[in-house]
Amino acid sequence: MDRQTENKIILVVRKTRLDDLIARFNTEDQARFYVEHLGMDFADYQQEDRIYDQAVAQAKRILSKYARLQVVDRSFVPNFIFGPQDTIVAIGQDGLVANVLKYLDGHPLLGVNPDPERWEGVLLPFAVPDLEMLIPEVFTGSRPVHEVTMAKVTLNTGETLYGVNDLFIGPQTHTSARYTLTIGGRTERHSSSGIIVSTGLGSTGWFRSIVAGATGIASALSGEEIEVDQPQTFAWDADYLYFSVREPWPSTRSGAEITFGKIYPENPLKLVSQMPENGVIFSDGMEADFLRFNSGSEATITTAERKGQLIA
């Protein structure tokens, strides 16, 4: 097939639920037996897999007309080296788009919904046929772009991790996280279930649930309906982050006064671990891709020096 340009497109794909089941049980028949034995509809897994494969095949045909195409599974993205001029297309769910975006540095990213009847997708504004119109506009720079502020954590070891939606800092297991927190000139020793740091893009998710839960508890305890004065979400390109401490425990050795606030570039959040083991930091729900945060580790969290570029 003759290509219209020598540009390069990276198409990021993911495994379906059926793929994961077959990997676990070796064959589709064994996967079917397992699912149907539990009273579930195996046909739904097959339909999802078939529609996704068809969407990927159609995307390949369209993208190959415009540029050199390379297909990359999401599991290889953390170690994949993207070229400076590459255009990235992610076809999957919102989580796939977020987890690809944090590994990019100024690359335009297109989020494509492979199955609009199944997935809504805040980060999936386009269907596969839209690529015919979108790719030429992306190549000429005429397509609008949403800038996305990311969170960044830097350890005293030099290790770093980015988050597009949020960061979690806390215990790997269901135990207490112990650390010292410093922000805005104030310091407090904590024992909690961990800390959530949210970006504007992630404010419709974990952050919103935290605010809703806290508001509900406060309303129930006070006997009055409490309304939050400010929006429970904030702009994707906001120059700040929010942090929230989960279930802080006030005691003779730990406090619970610094539990929520904003993080600015000039006012970062600093944490010093007091956990001998099982302390972790991960982003965007990817627990397998984490930094160890055990005794002696110091973390500085602020907005990232680069912003994600989502095609609008």
Secondary structure of the chain as H, E, C letters: CCCCCCCEEEEEECCCHHHHHHHHHCCHHHHHHHHHHCCCCHHHHHHHHHHHHHHHHHHHHHHHHHCEEEEEEHHHHHHCCCCCCCEEEEECCHHHHHHHHCCCCCCEEEEEECCCCCCCCCCCCEEHHHHHHHHHHHHHCCCCEEEEEEEEEEECCCCEEEECCEEEEEECCCCCEEEEEEECCEEEEEEECEEEEECCHHHHCHHHHHHHHHHHHHHHHHCCCCCCCCCCCCCCCCCCEEEEEECCCCCCCCCCCCCEEEEECCECEEEEECCCCCEEEEECCCCCCEEECCCCCEEEEEEEEEEEEEEC
pLDDT in the model for residue 152: 97
For residues 204-212, average pLDDT: 83
As a whole-number percent, the residues of the chain with pLDDT over 70 amount to 97
pLDDT in the model for residue 217: 85
Model confidence at 68, pLDDT cuts 50, 70, 90, reads: very high
Length of the chain measured in residues: 312
For residues 109-116, average pLDDT: 96
**Which pairing describes strands 87-91 and 108-113: parallel, antiparallel, or unpaired?**
parallel
8-143: in CATH 3.40.50: yes
For residues 216-230, average pLDDT: 79
pLDDT in the model for residue 161: 95
In the predicted structure, residue 302 carries a pLDDT above the cut 70: yes
Model confidence at 223, pLDDT cuts 50, 70, 90, reads: confident
For residues 130-138, average pLDDT: 96
CATH of 149-304, one of 2.60.200.30, 3.40.50.620, 3.30.1340.10, 2.40.30.10: 2.60.200.30
pLDDT in the model for residue 233: 84
Do domains 8-143 and 149-304 share one topology? The answer is no
pLDDT in the model for residue 204: 83
pLDDT in the model for residue 283: 93
As a whole-number percent, the residues of the chain with pLDDT over 90 amount to 80
In the predicted structure, residue 1 carries a pLDDT above the cut 60: no
Which is more confident, 205 or 89?
A: 89
pLDDT in the model for residue 173: 84
pLDDT in the model for residue 297: 97
**Where along the chain do its domains lie?**
8-143, 149-304
pLDDT in the model for residue 5: 67
